[in-house]
Structure 1
Amino acid sequence: MGGNSNVRAAAAGNGSGSGKLLEILNVRVVGGGERVLVLSHGFGTDQSAWNRVLPYFQRDYRVVLYDLVCAGSVNPDHFDFRRYTTLDAYVDDLLAILDALRVDRCFFVGHSVSAMIGILAAIRRPELFLKLILVGASPRFLNDRDYHGGFERGEIEKVFAAMEANYDAWVRGFAPLAVGADVPAAVREFSRTLFNMRPDISLFVSRTVFNSDLRGVLGLVRAPCVVIQTAKDVSVPVSVAAYLKAHLGGRTTVELLPIEGHLPHLSAPAALVPVLRRALASHR
């Protein structure tokens, strides 16, 4: 249990605690630019998911990378099941990292669940975020009366049951579906980081993500946003990007990538990088 209290103390961002958090979450700062760019990975990956994108930004930005506490690259003893019941605890971690690094303004790129973590962080501390770039973002994965999130409750419960019954088999089925495109190297890489996660943590985080509904707070975002969505994503229908554009409070643009899959930074970095560059350059 010591690890849990360490994360709690560290997330408070004071003194040696913040240094401890940087260590626990494998925080790295690379690159020599003046402006700060934060890359935050999604469920089932870790910061290595950005490896094929990172070289294009190191010259012009000081890039902050870190692992979510649920990632397989983080000691699972640090995952507090009582604390990480909502995305707010992940927001605490992100803000504590930025405070510990004395970052006062940044560009934020968040994939999947980290897109939502970035949205919540920007609502809480609007002065910190110059722009949010949201890759494969969804405020709610479940369908609702007038909202198409992509999944019915029964479908999601079957996914949870499959994860619980045989995690290895679930990963082998899910990784190719999520990658979408026929890119074996990306499927191998996503499978590797999924297998690195402890199955009970993976299931718990999946439940947290699929049960969250952030539609009601989107209007509170003031930062400009760029929503990057692939043409076919097993996790996020294209209609969700249009929903985000209509409901985010900041000036929002949508960039549709003419590719398949939920992980374009793994499967199609050559398609993603120019869009990221354009999104960052258009800030004013």
Structure 2
Amino acid sequence: MGGNSNNNNISSAVGSGNSNAKLLQVLNVRVVGSGDRVLVLSHGFGTDQSAWNRVLPFFQRDYRVVLYDLVCAGSVNPDHFDFRRYTTLDAYVDDLLAILDALDVDRCFFVGHSVSAMIGILAAIRRPQLFLKLILIGASPRFLNDGDYHGGFERGEIELVFAAMEANYEAWVQGFAPLAVGADVPAAVREFSRTLFNMRPDISLFVSRTVFNSDLRGVLGLVRAPCVVVQTAKDVSVPVSVATYLKDHLGGRTTIDLLPIEGHLPHLSAPSVLAQALRRCLTCHHR
């Protein structure tokens, strides 16, 4: 499935008694492709690494691509989700850095969707030398409105979302998936619904609360890596003004790549458009 590089990396990690080796198995880590440079693809809430399936072929020739599942994903055994540990995004950062250490990655390009964009930002603050560039898709440091800051949601609206998730998770997914996908792409809605349904509802709700309660505006200036904010023209979860906010506040040189499509999940709804944008982001030099 992942080619030889994946097996070699995992077996060498196991052979050296590396404590991160189990994590590679738990989070379904794969390394595919044959390039010299390392590209990490990290998915967002409600999906798993399969969200990258239609983007991956564009990069396998030129990169070694690291894929993994966030611990909250439905593709991971829910017994591994520790409700005490994953109360903030820092625990997800620990996982990402542990994976890269286990695979002996010392420099990489990082692509993070939604909550993983924030995980990447925190990881790059902690280990600046590890990240050559951050590409942030549908990123938001704060989803809630706050004074002059327009995150897109009022607290009361979010509480209604949480109540709906708790009352009838299946009905909530059926309503939320088309809104999030945005574009009229039924296959993408089906795919996003599938991975949302795979999540255990209590974990899904817990992670949603964690994401919506997080506020990373205060640390953006600590990022030193160059960043590209990839934003669709219309995203129900993230207003375009948030992309501008990120550009103005991230500490590294930051550009915005505004895609002329809609939806929060362009890797599902418009994979070739997103892949072309990612190639642009990876090849242009910001230093």
Deviations 1:241-277 (A, max 9, x none): 0000000000000010011100000000121111100
Which one-letter code corresponds to 1:56 in the other structure?
A: F
Counterpart of 2:20 in 1: which secondary structure?
Answer: helix
Give the distance between the partners of 2:44 and 2:193, measured in 1 at CA. Answer: 14
Q: How does 1:158-237 map to 2 (within 5 A)?
A: 158-237=160-239
TM-score by length of 1: 0.95
CA distance in 2, matches of 1:68, 1:24: 10
Post-superposition Cα deviations, 1:6-51, rounded to whole Å, max 9, x if no partner, equal xxxxxxxx93421100000000000000000000000000000000
Give the Cα–Cα distance (whole angstroms) in 2 for the partners of residues 107 and 241 of structure 1. Answer: 20
SS in 2 for 1:36: strand
The residue type equivalent to 1:247 in the other structure is: H
The code of the aligned residue for 1:113 comes to: V
Quote the residue 1:7 is aligned against.
none
Distance of 1:193 and 1:278 partners within structure 2: 29
Distance in 2, Cα, partners of 1:176 & 1:246: 31
Distance 1:127 1:221 in 2: 11
Q: Which residue of 1 aligns with 2:90?
A: 88
Q: Percent identity?
A: 89
Query: Is 2:97 the partner of 1:99?
Result: no
In structure 2, the residue corresponding to 1:23 is in which secondary structure?
helix
- Counterpart for residue 11 of structure 1: none
Post-superposition CA distance 1:51-85 (Å, at most 9, x none): 00000000000000000000000000000000000
- 2:154 aligns with 152
Contact 2:18/2:102 (8 A) holds in 1: no
1:122 alignment counterpart? 124
Matched, 1:47 2:45: no
TM-score scaled to structure 2, two decimals? Answer: 0.94
Letter in 1 for 2:222: L
> Aligned runs of 1:13-28 on 2, under 5 Å?
15-28=17-30
Unaligned 5+ segments in structure 1 are 1-13
**2:132 corresponds to 1:135:** no
Equivalent residue number for residue 61 of structure 1 = 63
Q: Distance in 1 between matches of 2:114 and 2:262?
A: 15
SS of 2:19 mapped into structure 1 = helix
For residues 30 and 20 of structure 1, what CA distance do their matches in structure 2 show?
19
Residue by residue over 1:134-163, the C-alpha shift from the partner in whole angstroms, topping out at 9 and shown as x without a partner, is: 000000000000100000000000000000
> Structure 1 stretches (4+) deviating beyond 2 angstroms?
14-17
* CA distance, structure 1, for counterparts of residue 32 and residue 67 of structure 2: 8
The equivalent residue for 1:266 is: 268
The amino acid of 1:253's aligned partner reads T
Structure 2 unaligned blocks of 5 or more: 1-15
